[in-house]
């Protein structure tokens, strides 16, 4: 029997969607307001889903306090109140779209959570726009 457990967190961060290989005009056309050279921010909502068999002794799929601590140490402390383009190493050469942010978060967490457990990241950039990885 598999069970899914979820942890919801949030962080606030700024970013600019921009492809340095393109002209300013093409960046403006493709990314619009999100290409503002002075950046813009979002109040991101992050949902981390872990799926597995409950442990026979604890009944836990995953210790939620441990999951909370891992997310805080490796995601929220790293991303919260940061400029993703300038302050977060993973985005130095990667456009910080919601899609790419979700993949980066997944990859960071995947290294910290046992491989026999399934992992999914859902990232809300706005109340109506969100991404999931893996899809």
Per-residue pLDDT of 15-52, as tens digits, reads 999 999 999 999 999 999 999 999 999 999 999 999 99
Q: Which two tokens stand for residue 18?
A: 């921009």
Closest of 66, 76, 78 to residue 46, by C-alpha: 76
Candidate list 40, 53, 81, 111, residue with the active-site label? 81
Candidate list 34, 74, 99, 118, residue with the active-site label? 34
Candidate list 15, 18, 42, 125, residue with the active-site label? 125
Of the pLDDT bands very low, low, confident and very high (cuts 50, 70, 90), residue 115 is very high
pLDDT digits (tens, 9 = 90+) for 75-105: 999 999 999 999 999 999 999 999 999 999 9
How far apart, in Å, are the Cα atoms of 19 and each of 4, 29, 38, 112? 37, 12, 15, 31
The verdict on whether 81 is a catalytic residue reads yes
The verdict on whether 125 is a catalytic residue reads yes
- Kindly provide the b/e burial profile for residues 91-105, where b requires at least 16 CB atoms within 10 angstroms of the residue's own CB: beeebbbbebbbbbb
Q: How much is the pLDDT for 89?
A: 97
The verdict on whether 15 is a catalytic residue reads no
Mean pLDDT, rounded, for 122-128: 97
């Amino acid at each position: 029997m598999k069970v899914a457990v979820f942890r919801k967190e949030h962080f606030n961060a700024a970013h600019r969607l921009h492809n340095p290989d393109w002209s300013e005009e093409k960046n403006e056309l493709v990314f619009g307001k999100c290409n503002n050279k002075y950046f813009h921010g979002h109040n991101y909502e992050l949902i981390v889903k872990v799926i597995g068999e409950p442990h026979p002794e604890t009944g836990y799929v995953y210790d939620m306090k441990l999951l909370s601590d891992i997310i805080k140490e490796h995601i929220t402390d790293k991303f919260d109140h940061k400029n993703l383009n300038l302050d977060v190493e993973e985005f130095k050469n990667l456009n910080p779209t919601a899609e790419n942010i979700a993949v980066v978060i997944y990859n960071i967490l995947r290294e910290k959570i046992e491989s026999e457990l399934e992992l999914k990241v859902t990232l809300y950039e706005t109340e109506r726009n969100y991404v999931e990885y893996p899809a």
